[in-house]
Amino acid sequence: MTRAAPLDELRILSPTAILGYGFPEASFAAGLARDPHVIAVDAGSSDPGPYYLGAGEPFTDRAAVKRDLRLMLRAGRARNIPVIVGSAGGCGARPHLDLTVAIVREIAAEEGLSFRLAVIPADIDRDALLAAQARGALVPLPPGPEATADDVRASTHLVAQMGAEPLVAALAAGADVIVAGRAYDPAVFAALPLLHGFDAGLAVHLGKILECAAIAAVPGSGGDCMLGTLRRDHFLVEPLAPERRCTVVSVAAHTLYEKSDPYRLPGPGGVLDLTATTFAQEDDRTVRVAGSRMLTRPYTLKIEGAASVGFRTVSIAGVRDPSFIAQVDTILDAARARVAANFAGTLAPESWRLLFRLYGRDGVMGTSEPLRTIATPHELGLIIEAVADTQAIADTIVSFARATLLHLGYPGRIATAGNLAFPYSPSDFHAGAVYRFSVYHLLTGIDDPCALFPIKLEEVGARAVALAPGEQS
């Protein structure tokens, strides 16, 4: 192992963009052959929407997560290097963390692995957050709305994106494997570099690239490995599959990904400033990055919460009749009015919503669709959707709207046997609980970046009797 202190180079292996998205074993082996100092993966994203945080469910498959983790844990233990997972289970709330830790334990038992495990939850106490909201410490992220006490109360799960500091502390405490709740995406990659005193700007910028694994290569892939080599005044990134390359444009372009301002990337405790960053082609497949700076700011934490808005039922149908298609808006309005009139006496109007989506016209872009009034499609895909206070009400609304539309008369109707083509029997589906993002705000006034993220250390397997001096970090 090349781990003499002080290190002038740290190699970080990022196997995959999201734990569970997979990676080729050959790429992973090529990464291990480079003698990495740490294997780290970001398991999370808010992109799949509010359901997964609200319901406490992962958006990746358990078997796929276990497959990825098994390869990572085996390699980490064989080489005695740390394995770090951030935003466990996708959203990093308690149920997501518990699920990931359970998988880690299963693998340890199956593989006979022993290690010091650090588990770092990211759940935020509701009452503490209400107090913060009351004193104005929970501030909006424009164009997001102001924080309200009702939204905090309504949230089923509340998490904070931890910075690298709790992960650094866990490494300093000798953790071999870290499973962290919701974390700032680059944090799992920046933790070991920060422990060894590498430049924070370079470490976090490298983390920003590694968190998406080989997406910053060409051809890009979220399911393939990337190696980062961090030195004191620059870093290198290279993909590990021979058919991929990093180019100046592919790496620079990645800086834009999912960010609103490519020059200033805010995070907990600072803003990553890329105004002086340089990108240079090191060799055919490797890009050298220098000049990224961390500008220290008062420490803040991004808080995420999701709240229930009811239950959804959908029905999917197609329309091929040109007369129906030509009049589709008035037909849908008539059906909507018929549904409302039918249940006016029995269902409270605010207890349900009925939506129609028209694929082939503006199903993807809605009112932003420039062609919505120009093109006339020969067929339309129709989704009838209800979101209601109960699944039963959603079922009622969709069922009635579907039957109404199927047989609704309209001027010039020729196809009098039915207006809709259903691909399935049954025609209606439960989409289950529906959530919304209820909190997406900054918690200000953080004095100690670790205080809200208690680290729980434990020995897994036979490690308890084998821990030797000098083996930490």
Partner 1 sequence: MTTIRLVDIAGVIRSKNAGPFELTLDIMVGDPVWYQRLRQSEVLSPARIAALYGIAESDVLSIVAFDPASAIKITLKRPLASGAVGDADVYGAQQHAPLLELSFEVLDD
**Which residues bind to partner 1, rule: CB under 8 A?**
46-51, 141, 143-144, 248-249, 252-253, 255-263, 277-279, 309, 353, 355, 357, 363-370, 387, 434-437, 440
Q: Are 208 and 265 in contact (CB under 8 A)?
A: yes
Residue 344 CB, shortest distance to partner 1, in Å, is 21
Q: DSSP class of residue 218?
A: B
Question: What DSSP string describes 106-170?
Answer: HHHHHHT--EEEEEE--B--HHHHHHHHHTT-EEE-TTSPPP-HHHHHHEEEEEE-B-SHHHHHH
The answer to whether 435 and 305 have CB atoms below 8 angstroms apart is no
- Give whichever of 66 and 157 is closer to partner 1, judged by the CB atom: 157
Least distance (Å) between residue 373 CB and partner 1: 11
Shortest reach from residue 437's CB to partner 1, in Å: 5
Nearer to partner 1, 50 or 76 (CB): 50
Phi, psi of 17 (to 5 degrees): -70, -35
C-alpha to C-alpha distance for 202 and 95, rounded to whole angstroms: 33
List phi, psi (to 5°) of 178: -120, 125
Contacts for 146 with CB less than 8 Å, ≥ 6 apart? 140
Question: Of the two residues 198 and 356, which places its CB atom closer to partner 1 in the complex?
Answer: 356
Q: Measured between alpha carbons, how far apart are the two ends of the chain, in Å?
A: 13
* Least distance in angstroms from the C-beta of 310 to partner 1: 8
Question: In a 3-state reduction of DSSP, which class is residue 350?
Answer: helix
> Closest separation between CB of residue 82 and partner 1, Å?
30
Q: How far apart are CA 73 and CA 71, in angstroms?
A: 6
Nearer to partner 1, 57 or 459 (CB): 57
291 vs 461, beta carbon nearer partner 1: 291
172 or 249: CB nearest partner 1: 249
Least Å distance between CB 86 and partner 1?
A: 18
> Toward partner 1, which CB reaches closer, 10 or 398?
398
Q: Contact, 301 vs 446, CB < 8 A? A: yes
Tokens 């953080």, residue located: 446
Q: In whole angstroms, how close is the CB of 292 to partner 1 at the nearest point?
A: 11
In the bound state with partner 1, the residue whose beta carbon lies nearer, of 155 and 255, is 255
> Which of 263/424 has CB closer to partner 1?
263
Q: How far is the CB of 6 from partner 1 (least distance, A)?
A: 31
Taking the complex as a whole, the smallest distance from the CB of residue 379 to partner 1 amounts, in Å, to 19
Distance separating alpha carbons of residues 450 and 294, to the nearest angstrom:
19
Chain length of the chain: 473
Smallest gap, in angstroms, from Cβ of residue 304 to partner 1?
9
Pairing of strands 235-239, 286-290: antiparallel
Q: What CA–CA distance (Å, rounded) separates 55 from 394?
A: 19
The residue with tokens 């229930």 is: 308
User: How far from 347 is each of 11, 150, 278, 308, 386, CA to CA, in Å?
Assistant: 62, 25, 62, 20, 13
In angstroms, the CA 352 to CA 53 distance is 23
Contact 240, 217 (CB under 8 A): no
Q: Is the dihedral of CA 409, 410, 411, 412 positive or negative?
A: negative
CA distance 114 to 75: 13
For the CA atoms of 387, 125, 45, 61, the dihedral, rounded to the nearest 10 degrees, stands at -80
* Number of Cβ within a 10 Å radius of residue 112: 9
136 vs 144, which CB is nearer to partner 1? 144
Please state the closest distance from residue 49 (CB atom) to partner 1, in A.
3
Query: Toward partner 1, which CB reaches closer, 73 or 204?
Result: 204
Report H helices in 318-386: 322-326, 328-342
- Min separation Cβ 438 and partner 1, Å: 10
Beta carbon nearer to partner 1, 373 or 425: 373
